[in-house]
Structures are given as structure tokens and as C-alpha cells.
Amino acid sequence: METLNILLNGTLAAGDYIGFTFFTGYMSMLAASIFFIVERGTVDDKWKTSLLISALITFIAAVHYYYMRGVWLEQGVSPTQFRYIDWTLTVPLMCIEYYLILKPAGAKSGMLSRLILGSIVMLVAGYIGEAVVPEQNILWGLISTLGWALIIYEIYMGEASKLAASSTNDHVKSGYKVMRWFTLVGWAIYPIGYMMLPGNLLAGFAEGADLAKSSPVDLAYNIADAVNKIGFGLVVYSIAKGATASAK
């Protein structure tokens, strides 16, 4: 009966923890967007674009979470299409953040191209495995992981890592290390959620779940989005504020 009420009324019901994370994700990312926009006026001009990108990442996510929340509450299904549209826009923007903070150290467009290529492979393969041919989600999950691995290689052992190490800005050096931890550890939450899909390696954790009340896949994705997008932006903000203060 409670499941039916959620679907008919389109309202957040007691015990709908996934609906709660959609709502809090929407509000927290909207608040983060406002914060980054306002704080642009407190940093040097060369950092304003980085904070604008941070604001765009969280604002795009906030808009999508508004619609995803509606899909979840009104239909009781996972809003897969909206989620991947969101990621297709925001993940490349996060790659651009790496390029922007390393540009003063000599970052070239080739580095940015490799990061974006990795993100495209990761997202396209993930979508195919989750929504197009879910019966082959393990195969497409492995291909998606190769895209993520390309990004990890670039930021830990590739040109990006070398540029960060050679930077004369201590705030960039320390902030870069935190950013890549988000990419290594924070982004790892997504494949954990993906592996809970039916037929995948962790599918047992989602078996028997009432999808109008509890979806481990959406829970993992929602938590990862809030932590990674807001946290990533706060690290960029910290770099910008620190570098601005030290330049005075």
C-alpha cells in the first residue's frame, strides 16, 4: 500500500530513503552552485573560470536531480537516462578542472583530450551496459573501467601528475592530490553501484529490494554524486582561495 501511495501521490513518504537522497542531492548541489558563484568575486581573475566550472557542475547536477527526484517519486523507477545525461555533461567538466588548475604549470590540450576521452569511454560503456544491453553489463562494465583507468593513469602517472609535481604553487600541489583522491576513491562508488545491477557481481545486495522504497544502485549513485561533485568543487575553491591569499 505504501508503494502504491508513493507512485500515485508523487510525494516523499516516510521510509523512502532513496527519495530523501534525491531531494537532499538536489538542494545541496543547488546551494553549492550559489556558493561557488558568490565566491568567484573573492579570488584572483585567473581562478574565476575554475569556480565558474565548479558552479556549472553542481548546477547541472541540481537540475537533473530535480527531474530525477520527480521520476523516482512519480514512477518508482531508477531515472537512468537523466542520470547519464547529467554525467555526460558534468564528468568532462570535472576533467576540465584538472586542466585549468594545471594550465599555469604548462598543461597542454593533449592532456585534456586524454582525460575527456577516458570519461567518454567510461560513460558510454556504462550506459550501454546499464540501459541498452543489461544482460551484458559485466562486459560493458569492464570496458567502462578501462576509461576510468585511463583517467587514473593520467592523473597519477601521466602528464597531469608530472605537471602538478613541477608546479611552484603549493596550493595547487596539495589541492591536486586531494582532487585525484576524489577521482580514485570517490569515483569507485559508481562501479560498486553498477555491480549491484541484476546479473552483475554484487547483484545479491539488491535482490528482494522494493524499488519504490529502496534501491542500493541509486543510493550508491546519489551518495557518490553529492560527495564527488560538491567535494571536488570545494577543493578547487580551496586552491583558488589559498593561491589568491598567497599572491597578496
Domain ranges of the chain: 2-247
pLDDT score for 207: 62
What is this structure's pTM?
Answer: 0.90
Query: Distance (Å, rounded) from C-alpha 155 to C-alpha 165?
Result: 11
Neighbour-count burial for 114-145, b at 16+ CB within 10 Å, e otherwise: bbbbbbebbbbbbbbbbeeeeeebeebbeebb
Mean pLDDT calculated for residue range 21-47: 96
2-247 architecture in CATH? Up-down Bundle (1.20)
Which of 8-22, 68-82, 134-148 has maximum average pLDDT?
A: 134-148
Q: Burial-class residue 4 by CB neighbours within 10 Å (0-12, 13-18, 19+).
A: exposed
Express each pLDDT in 88-100 by its tens digit: 999 999 999 999 9
Q: Is the pLDDT at 4 greater than 50, yes or no?
A: no
pLDDT score for 206: 65
Band the pLDDT of 192: cuts 50, 70, 90: confident
Cβ–Cβ < 8 Å for 134, 87: no
Query: Distance (Å, rounded) from C-alpha 70 to C-alpha 39?
Result: 31
pLDDT score for 17: 84
Express each pLDDT in 70-89 by its tens digit: 999 888 888 999 999 999 99
| Grid coordinates belonging to 195 | 555491480
Average pLDDT taken over every residue of the chain: 90
Band the pLDDT of 5: cuts 50, 70, 90: very low
User: What are phi and psi for residue 213, nearest 5 degrees?
Assistant: -130, -30
Mean pLDDT calculated for residue range 50-70: 96
Express each pLDDT in 106-122 by its tens digit: 999 999 999 999 999 99
| Grid coordinates belonging to 105 | 604549470
The better pLDDT of the pair 35, 188 is held by 35
Q: Is the pLDDT at 183 greater than 80, yes or no?
A: yes
pLDDT score for 93: 97
Q: Is the pLDDT at 41 greater than 50, yes or no?
A: yes
Query: Distance (Å, rounded) from C-alpha 240 to C-alpha 61?
Result: 22
Q: What is the DSSP string of 178-227?
A: HHHHIIIIITTHHHHHHTTSTTSTTGGGTTT--TTT--HHHHHHHHHHII
199: left (phi over 0), alpha (psi -120 to 50) or beta: left
Residue with cell 583530450: 113
Q: What is the DSSP letter of 12?
A: P
